[in-house]
Amino acid sequence: MKCAVCGRKAAVEVRRQGRAFCPEHYLEWFEHQVARAIRRHRMLEKDDRVLVAVSGGKDSIALWEVLRRLGYDTTGLHIQLGIDDYSKRALEATRRFAEERGLPLIVVDLKEAYRLSIPELAELTRRRACSVCGLTKRYVMNRVAVEEGFDAVATGHNLDDEASVLLGNVLHWQTDALVRQGPVLPAKEKLAKRVKPLYLLTEREILAYTLLRRLPYQHEECPFAVGAKSLLYKEALNKLETAMPGTKQTFLEQYLKKIEPVLQKGLSAEEVALKECERCGYPTTGEVCAFCKTWDHAYRWAKRKGQIPGELRFEAEPRLTFIPEGKRGGDARPAPAQEPAG
Site residues for ligand Q46 per CB under 6 A: 81, 118, 129-130, 133-134, 222, 224-225
Helix axes 118-125, 129-147, angle to 10 degrees: 120
| Binding partner of 134, given ligand Q46, Zn ion, none, CB within 5-8 angstroms per partner class | ligand Q46
- Enter the DSSP assignment of 275: E
Kindly state the smallest distance separating residue 236's Cβ from Zn ion, in Å: 34
Kindly state the smallest distance separating residue 109's Cβ from ligand Q46, in Å: 15
Confirm or reject binding of residue 143 to Zn ion (CB under 5 A): no
| Binding partner of 49, given Zn ion, ligand Q46, none, CB within 5-8 angstroms per partner class | none
| Binding partner of 22, given ligand Q46, Zn ion, none, CB within 5-8 angstroms per partner class | Zn ion
Cβ closer to ligand Q46: 65 or 161? Answer: 161
| Binding partner of 224, given ligand Q46, Zn ion, none, CB within 5-8 angstroms per partner class | ligand Q46
Helix axes 229-243, 159-171, angle to 10 degrees: 110
3-state secondary structure 305-326: CCCCCCCCCCCCCCCCEEECCC
Partner residues linked to 107 by β-bridges: 78, 321
Q: Which of 16, 25, 49, 194 binds Zn ion (CB under 5 A)?
A: 25
Cβ closer to ligand Q46: 177 or 225? Answer: 225
Check if the beta carbon of residue 321 is closer than 8 Å to that of residue 107. yes
Check if the beta carbon of residue 156 is closer than 8 Å to that of residue 55. yes
Cβ closer to Zn ion: 54 or 79? Answer: 79
| Through-space distance between the first and last CA atoms of the chain, rounded to whole angstroms | 18
| Binding partner of 25, given ligand Q46, Zn ion, none, CB within 5-8 angstroms per partner class | Zn ion
Kindly state the smallest distance separating residue 324's Cβ from ligand Q46, in Å: 26
Cβ closer to ligand Q46: 27 or 62? Answer: 62
Partner residues linked to 73 by β-bridges: 49
CA 228 to CA 135: how far, in whole Å? 16
Picking from 63, 42, 41, the residue whose alpha carbon sits closest to that of residue 52 is 63
Check if the beta carbon of residue 201 is closer than 8 Å to that of residue 158. yes
Kindly state the smallest distance separating residue 57's Cβ from ligand Q46, in Å: 8
